[in-house]
Amino acid sequence: MAKVVTLFRACKMSEKISKRNFVKSAIIGAAGAVSMTKMKGMSTDMHRHDELERDNLWKWSKECFYYEITPRGLKCQLCPNECILKPGDTSLCRNRVNFRDKLYSIAYGNPCAMHVDPIEKKPFYHFLPGSRSFSIATAGCNFACLNCQNWAISQASPKETRNYDLMPPRVVEETSKYNCVSIAYTYSEPVTFYEYVYDTSVIAHSKGIRNVIVSNGYINEKPLRNLCKVIDGATIDLKSFDNTTYLKLNAGELQPVLNSLKIFKEEGVWLEISNLVIPGWSDNLDMIKRMCDWLAQSGLQDTPLHFLRFQPMYKLSQLPPTPVQVLQKAKKIAQQAGIRFVYIGNIGGSEEISTYCPRCKKLIIERKGHTVTANHMKASNCGFCGEKIPGVWS
């Protein structure tokens, strides 16, 4: 930088700051900036916010299933956040609004993400392996994970994202069009677009299409038990096994997620658990041991557990990827705790993502990438020793 301007000595700074001068300066600055905006029309998306006030309803609104009227406002009873919303307020998940003393979801029929993915990508390894899943998400999430891969939609309101117009019947039509056997409600947080998930699942079931959610499991008991009636599978991301970490990393709590895992099991929904091992956050091996012990003691030994490798992302972009050694140690701990199907994701190769029979130890489903390259299952059993392998296979 130029020296002449680097160190100067505005002796007049000692004079009292007059309001008039300040306002004058501010106006000059503002005028300059406004004229610049006009010059290039930089904020092309600004009209979006102006036109669509957050607390207004739109085509993609539906009255929420779970809320109570309280003297303080409407209390959303969908997830443990239990937001209390006064008229015009928006929930923490950004897609529930109090409009004239009724609680509405504004994430109904308007997914911002729509893809066709291999079911293994979710990850689901014991649920219709080798099939494709029509995957959708609306904006919004009841967590605020620092490492979110989909932060651009999870930390946004549906009124801030560019959305498709895809009401439940059309979701089912598109699923058939792309030859998918299931619909995955994924990417952001399906709990927060509960009504959309529920209604779509009901229609999908009537057409023989399965429904799976990829979720953080942060949901209250009553809505979860109802949802379990219409969905077929769930991959729950158990972020860590420590409440403080849950709070600081995800803005949530551990216990409700553990409750959800038990409910999924009780309701007979196929469950798989993923655990993203983040260096410095969730890579403590003692904590992983406690988690695995709890899973085993809670009757979840047969629930596949996926340890996933972290890659620098979003607000944790200064962290390194999880060392492979840590993931291998975690896997060993899980196996010692009695978890029968433990996988390591995001490290490449085949061995750690293939399924081995817990009895005869033979390879029964070989996976490479997201592809099933060999399947030695016979119906729901190991093709070699006949051991029943838990999962949804057909």
Partner 1 sequence: MFSENKLSRIIIAALFILGFTSILVQLVLIREMLNLFQGNELIIGFIFCLWMLLTAAGAGCALRIFRNVNKYQLISRLFALEAIVPVIVVGLLSVVDSLLFPPGTTRGLIIALVYCLVFLLPGCFVSGLLFARLASLLSESRNTNCVSLAYGWESVGSMLAGILFSLLLAFLLRTFQVLSLAFLCNLVAACLLHPEKLNKFKKVIVSVSCIVVTALLFLMPADIRMKSLHYKNEQILYTRDTPFQHVTVTESNGQVNYYGNNMLLFSSNNPNHAEEAVHYALLQHQAPEKVLIVSGGIADMSAQVFKYNSVETLHYLEIDPWLVKAEKEFTNIPEFPGMEIFHKDVRQWIRNSTNWYDVIIINSPDPSNAQINRYYTLDFFKQAQKALTPHGIFSISLNSTANYMSTEAREVNRIVFQTLQEAFACVEIIPGGRNYFVASDASLGLNIADRLQKATLENDYVTPYSIDDELLLFKNRQLLTEISEPVALANTDLTPVAYLHQIRYWIYMGEGSKSTEILWVSLIIISSLVLFAARKTNPYSAGVFTTGFAGTSSEFLVLMVYQSLFGNIYQMTGLIIALYMLGLTFGAIIRSKPGSNTKRYYARVQVVIIVLVAFIPVVFKMAASSTEALSWAVQGTLFTLITAIAFMAGLAFNKATVLAGSSFITTASNLYAIDLAGAALGILLTSTLLLPLLGMWATCILLSVLVLAGLLILHLFGKSGNFVQSMQDE
Q: For residues 155-174, which are near partner 1 according to CB under 8 A?
A: 155-157, 160-162
Q: Does 386 bind partner 1 (CB under 8 A)?
A: no
Site string for partner 1, 173-212 (x = CB under 8 A): --------------x-------------------------
16 or 72: CB nearest partner 1: 16
Residues 128-147 touching partner 1, rule: CB under 8 A, are 132, 135, 137, 146
Please select the residue that binds partner 1; options are 25, 255, 297, 298, rule is CB under 8 A.
25
Site string for partner 1, 323-362 (x = CB under 8 A): xxxx--------------------xxx-------------
Pick the stretch among 27-35, 74-82, 265-273, 355-363 that binds partner 1 (CB under 8 A): 27-35
Residues 260-299 touching partner 1, rule: CB under 8 A, are 279-281, 283
Please select the residue that binds partner 1; options are 202, 228, 251, 319, rule is CB under 8 A.
319
Q: What is the 3-state secondary structure (H, E, C) of 127-159?
A: ECCCCEEEEEECCCCCCCCCCCCCHHHHCCCCC
Backbone angles phi, psi at 53, to 5 degrees: -65, 140
Count of residues that interact with partner 1, criterion CB under 8 A: 87
Q: What is the spatial distance between Cα 205 and Cα 226, in angstroms, rounded to a whole number?
A: 15
- State in Å, rounded, how far the first CA of the chain is from the last one: 69
Please select the residue that binds partner 1; options are 86, 229, 371, 388, rule is CB under 8 A.
371
206 or 286: CB nearest partner 1: 286
Three-class secondary structure of residue 253 per DSSP? coil
Give the CA radius of gyration of the chain: 25
Q: Does 113 bind partner 1 (CB under 8 A)?
A: yes
**Residues found in the chain:** 394
Contact partners, residue 170, CB within 8 Å, separation at least 6: 109
Q: What is the spatial distance between Cα 64 and Cα 101, in angstroms, rounded to a whole number?
A: 12
Task: Say if residues 231 and 263 touch (Cβ distance below 8 Å).
Answer: no
